[in-house]
Amino acid sequence: MNAHNERTAMRALVCKQFAPLDQLSVDTIDTPTAIAGHVVIQVKAASLNFPDALMCQGLYQVKPPTPFVPGAEFAGIVHEVGDGVTHVKAGDRVIAQTGTGGFGEYALAPAQRVAPLPPPMSFSDGAAFVMTYGTSFHALKDVAALQAGETILILGASGGVGTAAIQLAKLMGATVIAAASTDEKLALCKSLGADHLVNYSNENWRDQLNAVVGKSGVNVIYDAVGGAYSETALRSLGWRGRYLVVGFAAGDIPKIPLNLALLKERKILGVYWGDAVANDPKMHMANMRQLATWFAEGKLPIAITERVSLDGTIDALKRLASRKAMGKIVVEL
Ligand X SMILES: NC(=O)c1ccc[n+]([C@@H]2O[C@H](COP(=O)([O-])OP(=O)(O)OC[C@H]3O[C@@H](n4cnc5c(N)ncnc54)[C@H](OP(=O)(O)O)[C@@H]3O)[C@@H](O)[C@H]2O)c1
Q: Minimum distance from CB of 36 to ligand X (Å)?
A: 30
Q: Which of 31, 49, 151, 175 binds ligand X (CB under 6 A)?
A: 49
Number of alpha helices (DSSP H) and beta strands (DSSP E) in the chain: 11, 15
Q: Minimum distance from CB of 168 to ligand X (Å)?
A: 13
Q: Which stretch binds ligand X (CB under 6 A): 2-10, 209-217, 235-243, 320-328?
A: 320-328
Q: Minimum distance from CB of 57 to ligand X (Å)?
A: 12
Q: Which stretch binds ligand X (CB under 6 A): 79-87, 90-98, 232-240, 241-249?
A: 241-249
Q: How many CB atoms lie within 10 A of CB 316?
A: 23
Collapsing DSSP states into helix, strand and coil, what is residue 20?
coil
Q: Which of 32, 51, 71, 76 binds ligand X (CB under 6 A)?
A: 51
Q: Which of 140, 172, 271, 314 binds ligand X (CB under 6 A)?
A: 271
Question: What single letter denotes the amino acid at residue 28?
Answer: T
Q: Which of 94, 114, 146, 180 binds ligand X (CB under 6 A)?
A: 180
**Four-CA torsion 273, 268, 238, 214, nearest 10 degrees:** -60
Phi, psi (degrees; rounded to nearest 5) at 15: -105, 110
Q: Minimum distance from CB of 11 to ligand X (Å)?
A: 24
Q: For ligand X, how many residues bind (rule: CB under 6 A)?
A: 27
Question: Does position 70 bind ligand X by CB under 6 A?
Answer: no
What is the Cα–Cα distance from 122 to 30, expressed in whole angstroms? 27
What is the Cα–Cα distance from 272 to 135, expressed in whole angstroms? 8
On the 0-12 / 13-18 / 19+ scale of CB atoms within 10 A, 269 is middle
Q: Minimum distance from CB of 92 to ligand X (Å)?
A: 26
Closer residue to ligand X in complex, CB, 151/181: 181
* Site map 126..165 versus ligand X, x via CB under 6 A: ---------x--------------------x-xxxxx---
Q: Minimum distance from CB of 225 to ligand X (Å)?
A: 5
Question: Does position 243 bind ligand X by CB under 6 A?
Answer: no
Question: Does position 178 bind ligand X by CB under 6 A?
Answer: no
Question: Does position 272 bind ligand X by CB under 6 A?
Answer: yes
The answer for residues whose C-beta is within 8 angstroms of residue 279's C-beta and 6 or more apart is: none
Question: Does position 284 bind ligand X by CB under 6 A?
Answer: no
Buried b (16+ CB within 10 A) or exposed e, 110-144: ebebbbebbeebbbbbbbbbbbbbbbbbbbbbbbb
DSSP for 252-280? ------THHHHGGG-EEEE--HHHHHHH-
Collapsing DSSP states into helix, strand and coil, what is residue 318?
helix
Q: Which stretch binds ligand X (CB under 6 A): 73-81, 90-98, 170-178, 248-256?
A: 248-256
Residues in contact with ligand X by CB under 6 A are 49-51, 135, 156, 158-162, 180-181, 185, 224-225, 246-251, 271-273, 320, 323, 325
